[in-house]
């Protein structure tokens, strides 16, 4: 039963509301500076008498740690299947809104992706050793006994990094990303100048495009 203090201050209700608001920031990609917006504060003053919504520091420290712990608890059942079903590590490169070079690493098991980390590579030489070290660190964090497969882009440096991983962990094999490989192939085909001898190639490309669209649609519907 709730004690007098709990009833007087609605401690559980306040903590629950703090969590809901924090999730709004994290899932919406909102800046923590938004917590300093006076309209943000006014929006909640009438929802719970006397309630003060979490501020900038609470959102970026204690509430963030609580939400991280909450997400880690939600991921426990997925991680519990790794040893039985095996894990594929998937890595790709991108640039963020500030044009910084990032490398994403994700863990995939039974078609369920789990984001591991994004590494800021700005200023680093992205050679085969740098990329392979990132993959090795991710493998060790996931548990080398759980990882069976590594997927990267089809770039030569990524292939070389994948081969280094295979040498270090003989039970893990590397493959290039199928989507990236198809993208490069289609770009090469589309760069061809129009000519009657390429008519059959164009027909095959259109057929492949239709197949990929139908396949993607069927996967989404499932």
pLDDT tens for 194-220 read 666 666 766 776 677 677 666 655 544
pLDDT of residue 88: 93
Report which listed range, 10-14, 67-71, 108-112, 153-157, is most confident. Answer: 67-71
Residue 117 and residue 98: Cα distance in Å, rounded?
Answer: 18
- Within 10 angstroms of residue 91's Cβ, the number of other Cβ atoms is 22
Nearby residues of 152 by Cβ (< 8 Å), 6 or more positions away: 90, 91, 92, 131, 135, 158, 159, 161, 162, 174, 176, 177
pLDDT of res. 192: 60
Q: pTM here?
A: 0.65
Assign a CATH topology to domain 80-180: Nucleotidyltransferase; domain 5 (3.30.420)
Residue holding tokens 């712990």?
69
Alpha helix segments (H runs only) across 61-198 = 62-79, 82-85, 128-142, 156-168, 178-190
- Average pLDDT (71-94) is 91
Torsion sign, CA atoms 133, 84, 179, 170:
positive
**Residues 15-30: pLDDT tens digits?**
888 999 999 999 988 8
- Both tokens assigned to 69: 């712990």
């Amino acid at each position: 039963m709730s004690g007098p203090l709990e009833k007087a201050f609605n401690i559980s209700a306040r903590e629950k509301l703090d969590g809901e608001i924090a999730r709004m920031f994290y899932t919406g990609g909102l800046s923590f500076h938004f917590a300093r917006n006076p309209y943000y504060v006014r929006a909640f003053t009438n929802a719970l008498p006397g309630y003060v919504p979490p501020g900038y520091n609470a959102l970026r420290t204690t509430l963030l740690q609580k939400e991280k712990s909450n997400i880690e608890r939600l991921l426990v059942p997925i991680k519990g299947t790794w040893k039985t079903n095996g894990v594929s590590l998937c890595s790709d490169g991108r640039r963020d809104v500030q044009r910084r070079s990032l490398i994403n690493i994700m863990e995939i098991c039974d078609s369920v992706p789990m984001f591991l980390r994004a590494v800021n590579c700005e200023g680093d030489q992205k050679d085969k050793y740098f990329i392979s070290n990132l993959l090795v660190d991710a493998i060790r964090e996931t548990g080398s006994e759980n990882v069976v497969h590594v997927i990267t882009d089809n770039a030569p440096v990524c292939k070389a990094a994948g081969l280094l991983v295979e040498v270090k962990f003989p039970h893990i094999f590397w493959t290039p990303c199928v989507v990236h490989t198809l993208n490069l192939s289609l770009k090469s085909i589309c760069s061809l100048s129009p000519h009657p001898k390429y008519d059959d190639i164009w027909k095959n490309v259109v057929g492949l495009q239709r197949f990929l669209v139908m396949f993607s649609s069927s996967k989404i519907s499932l």
